[in-house]
C-alpha cells in the first residue's frame, strides 16, 4: 500500500543551495510525490556565491547573474521532481579556500542560530511536515552553509511544536521524524566500483575510495528507500542545474542501469523520532501512518 493510500502525508527537505535537493534524496522525493505525498523543498540560500562547475556554462554573463540563474534552474528542477519549493532568503556564504578565511558579512553561516532558524520554524509550522530531511552535523561535507542547515533543521524540529519558542512564527506543529542524508557512503561507492570493474568498464571510484582513510562512518544507515524507478527523474533534475552539473562529469560516470541493479535505494539515518518504528526501515513514514491524521500541534 502506498503512503498516499494511508494518509495525506507531508515531507520537507531542507537544503543549503539550489542543486542540493537534486543530488541528495531526489529520487526519494520524486517517488513520494508520485504517490501523492506533499513534498516541499526548503532552500536556505540562493546559491549566489556558487562557482560555475560546468565548463559549458562558464560565461561572464552567467557569473554576474548567478543568483537569478540558479533560481531559474531551481524552478526547472522543482517541476521535474514534482515537488514544491521555497527560498528562506539567506545569502550564500561561499566556500572558503582557507579554513581561517573570514566568511562574508551577513551571509547565512554567520547568522545567530535564532535568526537563522526563525524562518524555518515558520515554514515548518505553516507546511506541517510529518518528516524532515536534512544533512548530518558535518553538513554531509564541511561547507559552512551545509553545517548551518543542519543546525537550523535540528532547531526547527525541536522548537516548532513548542508554543513558548519562536512565538511569532505561527501556530505550533510537531514534526514526527528527522532524517540525515547518507547519500555518499563508502559502502555504496565500493559496490558501484566493484560492479563497474567486474564489467571491465573502468571505475573512477578506486582512488577516491582509497583516500577514504578507512575511518568508520559516524552515522549508520537506518533507512533505505527503494526508488530506482526514479533515478532517471533525479538525473533530469540534476541536469536542470546546468551551472552546477557537468553532463559529462562525476554524477553520470556510472551507468544508470548499474546503479539501479547494484544500489536501488537512497539511504538515510533516523536522527530523531517521536513515533515507534523498527530499524532497518524501507519507508521514511514508517511509524507515522497511524499518527498522521492527528499529528500533534
Question: Residues at the annotated binding site for Zn(2+)?
Answer: 17, 20, 146
Distance of alpha carbon 183 from alpha carbon 234, whole angstroms: 13
Distance of alpha carbon 235 from alpha carbon 251, whole angstroms: 8
CA-CA-CA-CA torsion sign (211, 212, 214, 215): positive
Q: Are 120 and 152 in contact (CB under 8 A)?
A: yes
Return the residue matching grid coordinates 528562506. 88
Q: Are 147 and 139 in contact (CB under 8 A)?
A: yes
DSSP calls for 206-246: HHHHHTTTTPPPSS---EEEE-GGGHHHHHHHHHH-TTT--
Q: Collapse the DSSP code of 297 into the 3-class scheme (helix H, G, I; strand E, B; otherwise coil) and give the result.
A: coil
Q: String of b and e for 49-82 (b: at least 16 CB within 10 Å)?
A: bbebbbeebeeeebeeebbebbbebbeebbebbb
Q: Are 225 and 285 in contact (CB under 8 A)?
A: no
How many CB atoms are located within 10 Å of the residue 1 CB?
A: 7
Summarize the annotated binding site as residue ranges.
17, 20, 146
Distance of alpha carbon 27 from alpha carbon 234, whole angstroms: 5
Cell of 132: 524532515
Amino acid at each position: 500500500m502506498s503512503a498516499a493510500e494511508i494518509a495525506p502525508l507531508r515531507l520537507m527537505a531542507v537544503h543549503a543551495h539550489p542543486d542540493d535537493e537534486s543530488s541528495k534524496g531526489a529520487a526519494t522525493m520524486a517517488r513520494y510525490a508520485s504517490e501523492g505525498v506533499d513534498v516541499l523543498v526548503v532552500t536556505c540560500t540562493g546559491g549566489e556565491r556558487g562557482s560555475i562547475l560546468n565548463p559549458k556554462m562558464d560565461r561572464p554573463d552567467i557569473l554576474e547573474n548567478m543568483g537569478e540563474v540558479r533560481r531559474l534552474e531551481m524552478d526547472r528542477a522543482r517541476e521535474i521532481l514534482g515537488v514544491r519549493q521555497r527560498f528562506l532568503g539567506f545569502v550564500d556564504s561561499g566556500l572558503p579556500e582557507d579554513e581561517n578565511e573570514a566568511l562574508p558579512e551577513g551571509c547565512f553561516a554567520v547568522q545567530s542560530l535564532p535568526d537563522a532558524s526563525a524562518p524555518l520554524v515558520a515554514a515548518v509550522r505553516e507546511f506541517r511536515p510529518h518528516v524532515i530531511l536534512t544533512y548530518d552535523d558535518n553538513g554531509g561535507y564541511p561547507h559552512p552553509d551545509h553545517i548551518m542547515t543542519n543546525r537550523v533543521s535540528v532547531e526547527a524540529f525541536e522548537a516548532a511544536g513548542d508554543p513558548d519558542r519562536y512565538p511569532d512564527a505561527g501556530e505550533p506543529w510537531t514534526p514526527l521524524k528527522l532524517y540525515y542524508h547518507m547519500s555518499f557512503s563508502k559502502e555504496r561507492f565500493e559496490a558501484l566500483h566493484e560492479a563497474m570493474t567486474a564489467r571491465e568498464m573502468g571505475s573512477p571510484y578506486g582512488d577516491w575510495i582509497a583516500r577514504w582513510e578507512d575511518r568508520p562512518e559516524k552515522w549508520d544507515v537506518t533507512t533505505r528507500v527503494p526508488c530506482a524507478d526514479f533515478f532517471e527523474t533525479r538525473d533530469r533534475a540534476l541536469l536542470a542545474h546546468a551551472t552546477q552539473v557537468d553532463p559529462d562529469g562525476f554524477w553520470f560516470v556510472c551507468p544508470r542501469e548499474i546503479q539501479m541493479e547494484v544500489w536501488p535505494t537512497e539511504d538515510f539515518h533516523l536522527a530523531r523520532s517521536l513515533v515507534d518504528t523498527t530499524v532497518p526501515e524501507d519507508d521514511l513514514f514508517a511509524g507515522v501512518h497511524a499518527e498522521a491524521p492527528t499529528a500533534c500541534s
